[in-house]
Amino acid sequence: MILGVLAIVCSIIAVARGTGPVLLECTTDIGLTYTGTVAVTATGATCIRWDANGDRWNDDSLFPHDESASAASNFCRNPDSDSRGPWCKTVGGSWGSCDIPMCPVLLVECTTDIQGSTYTGTVAVTATGETCKRWEINYDENVSHNSAFKFPHDESVSAASNFCRNPDSDSRGPWCDKVGGGWGYCDIPMCAE
């Protein structure tokens, strides 16, 4: 296990140095953003392609992180937000849960998707080095991103502290309000394998 964690940490460092994103073979949630290549169920059954058989799973909109059912191939995914995590179709019209491990806590300082919607790390400075302000400070009732439901991976707005987040699903990724006024994007690297 320690060697595996070290390999993951080394991969994160490589990504942070600009070698680009690599697919994770672990998940940080119930697998909604999992894009790894595991293609067998927990019981060892081989997964079949999502676009096989022309059934309801052959719908590109169910695979936003792959961009299509075809690109999702026969890999374990969670297109229906199943609380048990990633799963796949198997031969004979059946299905099975996949055994995708949770990512080590060390991986929270990277994001599993470009938008950073699941990022729960502790980076609290903008890309330009300015300190982030706590999310709940000086907000009135009319500020659209100051409510707990916009911070689904934190227990509350207060729990989001002054960490970079993406409460309004900004296409450019996590950001924060700055202590000195204004706001800025944060430099959160993509997670690596």
Give the tens place of pLDDT for each residue, 38-86.
999 999 999 999 998 778 898 998 998 788 999 999 999 999 989 899 9
Most confident of 12-16, 54-58, 183-187: 183-187
Q: How much is the pTM?
A: 0.48
What are the pLDDT digits (tens) for 167-179?
888 889 999 988 8
Neighbouring residues of 58: CB distance < 8 A, sequence distance ≥ 6: 50, 51, 52, 69
Decide: 133 and 177 in contact? Cβ < 8 Å. yes
What are the pLDDT digits (tens) for 105-147?
554 578 888 888 888 888 888 999 888 888 877 554 335 544 5
121 against 21, higher pLDDT: 121
**What is the per-residue pLDDT for 181?**
86
* Pairing status of strand 94-97 against strand 87-90: antiparallel
Q: Residue 165 CA to chain centroid, in angstroms?
A: 12
Look at residue 32 and tell me whether its pLDDT is greater than 90. no
Look at residue 155 and tell me whether its pLDDT is greater than 80. no
- Tokens 């059954």 correspond to 45
Token pair, residue 191, equals 């997670």
pLDDT, mean of residues 22-35: 74
Report how many helices (DSSP H) and strands (DSSP E) the chain contains, helices first: 1, 4
**What is the per-residue pLDDT for 150?**
74
107 vs 138: CA distance, rounded Å: 31
- Look at 2-6, 8-12, 19-23 and tell me which has the smallest mean pLDDT: 2-6
Look at residue 26 and tell me whether its pLDDT is greater than 90. no
